[in-house]
Amino acid sequence: MKSKLPAKQNEPSRKIDKYWVPIVAKTLDLLDCFSSVSETLTLEEVVQRTGIPHTSAFRILHTLVVRDYLSQSGRQYRLSRLRKKLKFGFANLSKHIQLAVEIQASLEKAAAAAGINLVVWDNDRNADTAIRNAELMVAEKVDLAIEFQLFEQVAPVISDIFARAGIPLISMVNPHHGTVYFGVNNYRAGFTAGLALAEHTANHWRSKFDAIVLLESPLAGRTTHSRSVGVVKGMEERFGKLPENIIHHLDGGGDKATSKSALSNFLKSMRPSSKILVAAINDESAIGAVEAVKAIKGPNQIAIVGHGGSAEIMDIIKDSKSPCIGVVSFNSDRYGSELFSFTLPIVQGRSAPTGQYVPHKFISRAAAK
């Protein structure tokens, strides 16, 4: 328990400042004695921390409850979230990934409009960094945490850090067990990509193809992997059950360099005349795949679809010579406004759904121009 607040140095008083209002000063001292929006105090604890006389403290507490600056449950008082400027913490995937940068910009814009203090950390696509950032958010006493990180194996660790601190957690794009999820429906996004690849083969290759390459990121976990499941099911919606021997799962790591290397090695095993469809787990993998195809000498028949829709991949799609025929856009510009309208009831202690999907859409080369 905290001790009585120390006397403020050079604090004004009625003797030296004729505009000084003692009861207002006592009220502010009382509000300041709460260390966070989640802390609860009894009347006795408030008296001990502030030195305000018992009767005065009770009357101030009662007034603040009536005016919604404090909430009361039995003998316990706490700051009202409705009256406090909210502080949200956002641990972003990486400042080097364009889609993550665009999502952060959307959140920052919405936070400024809503009067919310948004504090940002960079997970740098690193599991240990993501854990440290979660601990820093707790130390910062944020009212709500938003987590965008890649690694499934540390998701329960991060969830537990916030649960023990009593801080609501929103997991973004990559769901964390036991948290509220905000992002795309990963399976349906993959299904949309599969339909686009199927339409491409029907329109350009007379529905004939030799291989489907799924550039995946196993470390991202099962839910993100459902994009790949959706790709296959989207293809089968058009062509029926596909032979398993034409479906190739490659670990692209979710980054450009690994994806480029993985696809380059695969292409060496295929005939130059092969018709190959590539579904990349994200924009980074799609860009790596494009670079692998560009390194091939001579003509090729390869079609690539990515997931994300960053400005970088959109520029590549616009190039008529690019093998990337389109992308499933996650509508990053909508994340901020939709997320905050979704999370405010959670912060305010009101009931809220366990998740919300952000709409996605396929953007073809024709639509991108």
CATH placement of domain 1-84: 1.10.10.10
Say which CATH topology domain 186-329 has: Rossmann fold (3.40.50)
Please tell me the distance from the alpha carbon of residue 253 to that of residue 257, in angstroms, as a whole number.
9
Q: Is the pTM of this model over 0.85?
A: no
The residue ranking higher by pLDDT, 85 or 74, is: 74
Please tell me the distance from the alpha carbon of residue 98 to that of residue 46, in angstroms, as a whole number.
48
Please tell me the distance from the alpha carbon of residue 215 to that of residue 306, in angstroms, as a whole number.
9
Q: Is the pLDDT of residue 56 over 80?
A: yes
Residue 188: Cβ within 10 Å count: 18
DSSP states of 226-263 as a string? HHHHHHHHHHHHHH-SPPGGGEEEEE-TTSHHHHHHHH
DSSP states of 295-341 as a string? TS-S--EEEEEEEE--HHHHHHHHSTT-SEEEEEE--GGGHHHHHHH
The residue ranking higher by pLDDT, 251 or 116, is: 251
CA angle 41, 353, 355 (to 5 degrees): 110
**Sign of the CA dihedral 235, 237, 242, 247?**
positive
Give the pLDDT score at 3: 44
Least trusted range by pLDDT, from 6-15, 151-160, 206-215: 6-15
Q: pLDDT band at 6, cuts 50/70/90?
A: very low
Give the pLDDT score at 83: 63
Question: What are the residue boundaries of the structural domains of the chain, listed by start?
Answer: 1-84, 87-184+333-354, 186-329
Tokens of 274: 């092969």
Q: Is the pLDDT of residue 98 over 90?
A: yes
CA angle 72, 78, 79 (to 5 degrees): 115
Rounded mean pLDDT, 164-182: 88
Which segments of 33-177 does DSSP mark as H helices, in order?
A: 43-50, 54-66, 98-114, 127-139, 155-165
Torsions phi, psi for 143 (to 5 deg): -80, -25
Give the pLDDT score at 330: 96
Measured CA distances, 257 to 284, 292, 313 (Å): 9, 9, 15
Tell me which residue has tokens 């759904």.
353
Between the CA atoms of 242, 248, 254 and 258, what dihedral angle is there, to the nearest 10 degrees? -160
Q: pLDDT band at 276, cuts 50/70/90?
A: very high
Torsion-angle region of 20 (φ positive above 0: left; ψ -120 to 50: alpha; else: beta)? beta
Same fold flag, 87-184+333-354 and 186-329:
yes
* Rg of the chain taking only CA atoms, in angstroms: 27
Superfamily, domain 87-184+333-354: Response regulator (3.40.50.2300)
